Amino acid sequence: MKVTVKYITIKTLILLMVTVMGLLIANTAIFLHVHELSDGSLISHAHPYDKTDEKHPEKTHQHSQTDLLLIHSLEILFPLIFLVLVLIVFEKKISVLFDLKTACHLLIFDVVKGRAPPVLL
């Protein structure tokens, strides 16, 4: 196999994204916690914080509304980027499978001509 710059770039991006996804999963598993807002609603998110002095289920360290929005956006952004990169890498394979599936459906519908069901008058 000929090693090209594109091949090395794709492999590096895949390794980087798998590492980032692994770190996100580990971060969620270790640092997931809940905050109770002033209106009584609960928000859960994950980020590193000092757990030694807090014993309540609802955490007391404070976040602004902007902080909560940023953390939530990052939790959505990284998996979305991962999905887009996977689709870009496997674009040709996916299009070949889609064309094959479409061709099979067309072949089946062309060969098997349906007829109307019998009707009693």
Print the SS3 string covering 62-85.
Answer: CCCHHHHHHHHHHHHHHHHHHHHH
User: Could you tell me which residue, 10 or 95, shows the higher pLDDT?
Assistant: 10
Residue 13 tokens read as: 């991006």
User: At a CB cut-off of 8 Å and minimum separation 6, what does 43 contact?
Assistant: 34, 35, 37, 68
Our measurement of the distance from residue 62's CA atom to the centroid of its chain's CA atoms, rounded to an integer in Å, reads: 28
In angstroms, the CA 30 to CA 37 distance is 22
Residue 32 confidence (pLDDT) above 70: yes
For the cut 70, the answer to whether the pLDDT of residue 88 exceeds it is yes
What pTM does this model have?
0.52
CA distances from residue 67 to 24, 36, 46, 47, 121 in whole angstroms, order as listed = 17, 15, 12, 11, 70
CB 17 within 8 A of CB 85: yes
Reply yes or no on whether the pLDDT at 112 is more than 70: no
- Give 1 or 30, the one with higher predicted confidence: 30
* Alpha carbon distance 106, 50 (integer Å): 60
Contact 24, 78 (CB under 8 A): yes
